[in-house]
A and B are shown apart, each in its own frame.
Chain A
Amino acid sequence: MVRAVQQIFIIFVLILVLAALPKIISVDPLSGSLQWSFESLPHIYGDFISEISKGSLGTYELGMQTRPIAGDIADNFFTSLLIVLIAVNASLIISLIFGVFISRFRLTKLFGAFMNILAAIPDFIIIVMSMILAVKIYKMTGIRVISLRPDGGALNTWFPTVLAAIAPTLYLFKLVSVKYYQTSGEDYIKTAVAKGMGLNYINFQHVFKNLEPFIKSELVKVISLAIGNLFIIEHIMNVSGITKFIFQSSGVQPIAIGLFAMLLISLIVYISNRLIFYLFKRGFIYE
């Protein structure tokens, strides 16, 4: 519990520091050196806190106009939440199924090889390449696969969701299959095999149970991967999600609010992941 509090506290401080960074770093044009204006920090945070305590979230700039954050945040928040939520949960399920339960089939091997190739490519290259591909498809067939218009509806969000799912899937799949391979060399598996238990039974009852803690401990990393890519994806695909507050404005207020919203999103996603594990265990595994 203490650790959780510590963690939350550190994240809070980190977010506030990050949000203020653009305000306090500047380049001195005369001497050509960096300038840190820490003396403006109390002022920045003072403004922030007073705004929050008034019950409003402050304002942000969208192009030329200034809009209240509170008015727009709900929409943007749910767009981002939906993308991350679907992406991470899908990647969790896919990697578990392919990494463990049907890992021994030949077709899965093909899938694994494909995953390995993708894993060798950095995420951002995958993102750019898939965009080129989508444009090419449209040019050749006239079928609009994606839309870069923020008001494009599902056409605007399904592609980002898939892209956001790629990185966590690759990471989890790799992790799961490596752990699976390691676990399968353990003595208790040998015992189970010797007892004549079925392969599926061993996978569910022995292997999965031993994999679970590993996956749980990596969940934060996985979510942060998804969030990291979400920034890029939303930015270059014109999805009006939460990152709009972060990249398009320079004020402390929207950046901090945006980052906190991100924190909230990852918390929700984390809870949903744990929920999936819980349901899975309830459904398939005798405790």
Chain B
Amino acid sequence: MVTGLLFLSIFGPILAPHSLTSVLETQYTNGKVLAPPMEPFESSSYPLGTDKWGYDILSMILYGLRYTVFIAAAVTVIKMAFGTIIGLYAGTLKRTPGWLIAFENAWSYVPLFLILYFFLAPISFNSTLKQNVLIVYFIVIASVISIPSIVSSVRLKTAQLYKSVYVEAAKALGAGKHRLIWKHVFPQLKETFLVMFILEIVYVIALMGQLALINIFVGGTIMRYDPIIFLSATKELAGLVGQARLNIYGSTHILIAPLAVLLLATVSFSLLANGLKNRFQSNYQRTPWIKTGHEPLIRPSRKQYGRKKKFWSLSGPKAGFAALVIAFAGAGVYAVAAKNSNTGVQSGSKADYKIDLEMNAEGYFTANANIQLKNKSDNNWNELIFYFIPNVFKEGHSFDSVEGSSEAKIEKVTVNGQKASFKLDGDTLTINLKPEMKDKSRHKVEIQYGFTVPEGGSRFSKAGTNYYLAQWYPMAAVYQKGKWNKEPYMEGLETFHTGFSDFKVSYKLPEGYSLASTAEIDPAKGKNEGTVKAKKVRDFFIAVMKDMKVYETEAQDGVKVRLFSKGNHDKNPEASLTLAKKALSFYQNKIGDYPHEQLDIVLDEGQFMEYPGIVTINPYIDDKRFYDISIVHEIAHQYFYGAVANDPYNNAWIDEGITEFATSMYFYAGQNQAEQQAFGISHYRMEAIEEAGLGRQYSNVPVNEVKHTGYIYGQPALEILQMIQEKYTLKGESPKDVGMQFLSDYYQKFRYKEVDTKEFISFTKDYFSVPTGYFNNWIDTSKLNS
């Protein structure tokens, strides 16, 4: 039981289903109204119900338990350590000084919690002291004032033992005082101390409980007026009981739940102490001569002298203890792992790629892709679905932004070594699985195909002699919520959603070409054959280039920044490189580790686009400011796209909006520009929407419904900024710090996870303690639960 308790107190917050600040909002589900205070066992997500304000009781208990247990343990350790040492030495004094006894007696007369009350009453209510400081005060004061009682009991026991014959004998043999205490007296008392230790833990918890009943909560009391209520700042268990004291008349579960847990906690410690005591007592007690009604419960185990000492002998208690330790560790690992994998949107598939790519002098590429597709969902798959985007640019396509056209041909598809039938429709490649393969959890797909790159294409593009291979391979779609999440290709915003994959690409290029890619380490310039690798990336971009000048620098943590450019534009590559370095370093400092080892920036005609570890920028535009912003924007995407994934079709705003916010924050917080200027591009987008008379639209709409990209880029950035300006006082000193901290915490939490609108809302709600309705202005919150 104690092990379980310790487990809960260490891993409690990880297990908690809701955070302390998340509130049950009154809601209608299936015709039933859910409103706080909710009774226990009514809803599966609130097992112990909620309190009057809608906070989950189970979560509060799980958060509070650690305070209760650790504070109690800390107090006990301190007072036992000092108490026993002082007591042991005081017990060996020839004559105990009268004042000491008088003091002990006087001290034992005054109830300890009263002393604590008078200490804490002036400092606990709505204290300006920090919570931790208050806890430390409590620990120190509680230990100090309870030392005398420990001293007195240890002193009495020591004095008793000190008079015994064997101590006399040791004294006669010339043992010093310290030796007597530590070698003769202390070993005798060891077991008593152990029992005392555990009982004292219970005693400290009881002390905290008594204080809680008079509204002194450890870690501070938050007092609200009108009506006067007292709240525990730490949610420490005794505090929860205390603050729920008045619920005795109604909604008793608010009081009973923490009380029961507290009871369980103390009882488990008490039982442990009792068990140990019975054990020791039965070992050392003499058998009574008359019938007393107290028979020992356990058979005494006697020390057997003369038996050979073994390093490890298997015995029941030892094995039991070992099993407890193992169970403890195992449960801990499981809890952490489960919590980690439950963050973000779940994906039921994982793909890893091994691709051989060969380019001939005419610009025709042949490739052989070996894709390993893992089924992590509970369903069987009937088919495998891939994006095959080169196919949509075939002769006769209808995209305005693509000048030329491509050839794309899939030669052969094999699945698990057998030839498989497939269907190619637009960019959707459907591979049917044979019935006997449906229940396999791992599929090996081999696709042989060839393609050319359209002149002046969109992302997947040929610009002069350079080939930009974007989405050039069959990209496995993501299996989510029981189906393949595959939407048709559209011009403009990205429509392809991919998971994190490992890549190994071997390539062969004609003479004179070299390659820059997503890979961690790109080959040296001029090397036209080799292998590149990348781990945990969402896409693998390759730029096959000729006659490009390379500029290099280094950002924080040894991250290399390279810039590829031709000389025929008016932008200064050196300045652009410096800007990129500054932006990246800023993000590394403020948000977190850059997910790759190098960042490539390719300046050439085409789209402004981010890929993992590499971005493309068009330097041939007139708007210098937009050019600069784009560089920062694509770098920010390395965090909010590259590492924090999202479905770009259904939740496009998640990466674009947050990236735009992060971009503007670079200018706002990093460069100290005025807010209007830093967020100028977002304002500009919103003005454009207004001019076009488009009215309002939510940001969380699928891309085929988006009326203007401003709703995806500008609106979230401005709304997040406004939220931070309204709520920053909860988290820090200035909107700038809080904004960057928010991005950083968001990044750390969802790194290598997928986020959708719902995840974002629940994270942000929690972060700034706002209700769901707070986002109604720009997010359609009614769709969150579907």
Q: A235–B122 contact, CB under 8 A? A: no
Q: A122–B111 contact, CB under 8 A? A: no
Interface residue B106 (Cβ < 8 Å from any Cβ of A)? yes
Smallest CB separation, B123 vs chain A (Å): 5
CB-contacts of A86-121 with B (<8 A) = 103-105, 108-109, 112, 116, 119-121
- Give the residue of A26, A103, A136, A224 whose beta carbon is less than 8 angstroms from that of B122: A26
Measured between beta carbons, the chain B residues less than 8 angstroms from A14 are 106-107, 110
Measured between beta carbons, the chain A residues less than 8 angstroms from B212 are 124
Measured between beta carbons, the chain A residues less than 8 angstroms from B112 are 228
Interface size of A by CB at 8 A reads 69
Measured between beta carbons, the chain A residues less than 8 angstroms from B205 are 122
Interface size of B by CB at 8 A reads 61
Given contacts A22-B118, A122-B209, A185-B287, contact A7 B106 (CB under 8 A): yes
Interface residue A221 (Cβ < 8 Å from any Cβ of B)? yes
Q: Which listed segment binds B: A58-66, A67-75, A125-133, A153-161? A: A125-133
Identity of the chain A residue whose Cβ is nearest the Cβ of B271 in the assembled complex: A120
Interface string of B118-139 (1 = CB under 8 A from A): 1101110001111001000100
Q: B114–A128 contact, CB under 8 A? A: no
Given contacts A10-B103, A202-B290, A227-B111, contact A32 B129 (CB under 8 A): yes
Q: A25–B119 contact, CB under 8 A? A: yes
Identity of the chain A residue whose Cβ is nearest the Cβ of B205 in the assembled complex: A122
Q: A189–B290 contact, CB under 8 A? A: yes
Q: B248–A131 contact, CB under 8 A? A: yes
Measured between beta carbons, the chain A residues less than 8 angstroms from B643 are none
Q: A121–B267 contact, CB under 8 A? A: yes
- Give the residue of A26, A34, A136, A184 whose beta carbon is less than 8 angstroms from that of B289: A184
How long is the Cα–Cα vector from A32 to B133 in the complex, in angstroms?
A: 10
How long is the Cα–Cα vector from A33 to B625 in the complex, in angstroms?
A: 50
How long is the Cα–Cα vector from A124 to B38 in the complex, in angstroms?
A: 26
Interface string of A16-37 (1 = CB under 8 A from B): 0011011001110100111000
Measured between beta carbons, the chain A residues less than 8 angstroms from B128 are 27, 29, 32
Q: B115–A231 contact, CB under 8 A? A: no
CB-contacts of B193-213 with A (<8 A) = 202-203, 205-206, 209-210, 212-213
- Give the residue of A6, A122, A185 whose beta carbon is less than 8 angstroms from that of B288: A185
Q: Which listed segment binds A: B254-262, B339-347, B476-484, B773-781? A: B254-262
Given contacts A6-B98, A6-B102, A184-B288, contact A221 B293 (CB under 8 A): no
- Give the residue of A9, A33, A177, A247 whose beta carbon is less than 8 angstroms from that of B214: A247
Given contacts A2-B98, A124-B206, contact A224 B248 (CB under 8 A): no
Smallest CB separation, A84 vs chain B (Å): 12
Q: A228–B262 contact, CB under 8 A? A: no
Interface string of A129-156 (1 = CB under 8 A from B): 1011001100000000000000000000
CB-contacts of B374-398 with A (<8 A) = none
Given contacts A11-B109, A18-B118, A227-B111, contact A185 B286 (CB under 8 A): yes
Measured between beta carbons, the chain B residues less than 8 angstroms from A266 are 109
Interface residue B718 (Cβ < 8 Å from any Cβ of A)? no
Q: B111–A228 contact, CB under 8 A? A: yes
Interface residue B498 (Cβ < 8 Å from any Cβ of A)? no
Smallest CB separation, A263 vs chain B (Å): 8
Q: A193–B290 contact, CB under 8 A? A: yes
Identity of the chain A residue whose Cβ is nearest the Cβ of B109 in the assembled complex: A224
- Give the residue of A108, A109, A125 whose beta carbon is less than 8 angstroms from that of B266: A125
Q: B259–A25 contact, CB under 8 A? A: no
Identity of the chain B residue whose Cβ is nearest the Cβ of A189 in the assembled complex: B289
Q: Which of A177, A223, A236 has the most CB of B within 10 A?
A: A236
- Give the residue of A32, A124, A186, A224 whose beta carbon is less than 8 angstroms from that of B110: A224
Q: B210–A124 contact, CB under 8 A? A: yes
Interface residue B409 (Cβ < 8 Å from any Cβ of A)? no
Interface string of B197-237 (1 = CB under 8 A from A): 00000110110011011100000000000000000000000
How long is the Cα–Cα vector from A127 to B122 in the complex, in angstroms?
A: 26
- Give the residue of B106, B123, B255 whose beta carbon is less than 8 angstroms from that of A25: B123
Interface residue B108 (Cβ < 8 Å from any Cβ of A)? yes
Smallest CB separation, A174 vs chain B (Å): 11
Identity of the chain A residue whose Cβ is nearest the Cβ of B124 in the assembled complex: A27
Interface residue A181 (Cβ < 8 Å from any Cβ of B)? yes
How long is the Cα–Cα vector from A158 to B133 in the complex, in angstroms?
A: 41
Smallest CB separation, A149 vs chain B (Å): 14
Smallest CB separation, B708 vs chain A (Å): 50
Interface residue B164 (Cβ < 8 Å from any Cβ of A)? no
Interface residue A199 (Cβ < 8 Å from any Cβ of B)? yes
Q: B292–A180 contact, CB under 8 A? A: yes
CB-contacts of A179-202 with B (<8 A) = 180-182, 184-186, 189-190, 193, 199, 202
Measured between beta carbons, the chain A residues less than 8 angstroms from B255 are 128, 132
- Give the residue of B105, B110, B123 whose beta carbon is less than 8 angstroms from that of A34: B123
Interface residue B671 (Cβ < 8 Å from any Cβ of A)? no
Identity of the chain A residue whose Cβ is nearest the Cβ of B246 in the assembled complex: A236
How long is the Cα–Cα vector from A246 to B117 in the complex, in angstroms?
A: 10
Identity of the chain B residue whose Cβ is nearest the Cβ of A197 in the assembled complex: B290
Q: B130–A21 contact, CB under 8 A? A: no
How long is the Cα–Cα vector from A8 to B286 in the complex, in angstroms?
A: 40
Given contacts A2-B98, A22-B121, contact A184 B114 (CB under 8 A): no
Interface residue B101 (Cβ < 8 Å from any Cβ of A)? yes
Interface residue B784 (Cβ < 8 Å from any Cβ of A)? no
Given contacts A124-B209, A181-B294, contact A232 B214 (CB under 8 A): yes
Measured between beta carbons, the chain A residues less than 8 angstroms from B41 are none
How long is the Cα–Cα vector from A224 to B114 in the complex, in angstroms?
A: 11
How long is the Cα–Cα vector from A48 to B103 in the complex, in angstroms?
A: 24
CB-contacts of B235-274 with A (<8 A) = 241, 245, 248-249, 252, 255-256, 259, 262-263, 266-267, 270-271, 274
How long is the Cα–Cα vector from A89 to B732 in the complex, in angstroms?
A: 58
Q: B118–A21 contact, CB under 8 A? A: yes
Measured between beta carbons, the chain A residues less than 8 angstroms from B127 are 27
- Give the residue of A9, A121, A231 whose beta carbon is less than 8 angstroms from that of B111: A231
Measured between beta carbons, the chain B residues less than 8 angstroms from A103 are 292-294
Q: A21–B263 contact, CB under 8 A? A: no
Measured between beta carbons, the chain A residues less than 8 angstroms from B109 are 11, 220, 223-224, 263, 266
Q: B133–A7 contact, CB under 8 A? A: no
Measured between beta carbons, the chain B residues less than 8 angstroms from A246 are 114
Given contacts A128-B255, A131-B248, A220-B108, contact A185 B285 (CB under 8 A): yes
How long is the Cα–Cα vector from A253 to B248 in the complex, in angstroms?
A: 34
- Give the residue of A2, A132, A231, A235 whose beta carbon is less than 8 angstroms from that of B256: A132
Q: A18–B110 contact, CB under 8 A? A: yes
Interface residue B311 (Cβ < 8 Å from any Cβ of A)? no
CB-contacts of B150-194 with A (<8 A) = none
Q: B213–A125 contact, CB under 8 A? A: no
Q: A181–B288 contact, CB under 8 A? A: yes
How long is the Cα–Cα vector from A18 to B115 in the complex, in angstroms?
A: 7
- Give the residue of A32, A104, A128 whose beta carbon is less than 8 angstroms from that of B259: A128
12 further A-B contacts with Cβ under 8 Å, apart from A103-B293, A122-B205, are: A2-B98, A14-B107, A26-B122, A105-B293, A120-B270, A125-B206, A125-B266, A180-B294, A184-B290, A185-B288, A231-B113, A231-B210
* 11 CB < 8 A contacts A-B: A7-B105, A18-B115, A25-B122, A27-B122, A27-B129, A120-B274, A122-B266, A124-B210, A132-B256, A135-B248, A189-B289
| Minimum-distance CB pairs A-B, first 8 | A228-B111, A122-B206, A120-B270, A184-B288, A6-B102, A185-B286, A10-B106, A21-B118
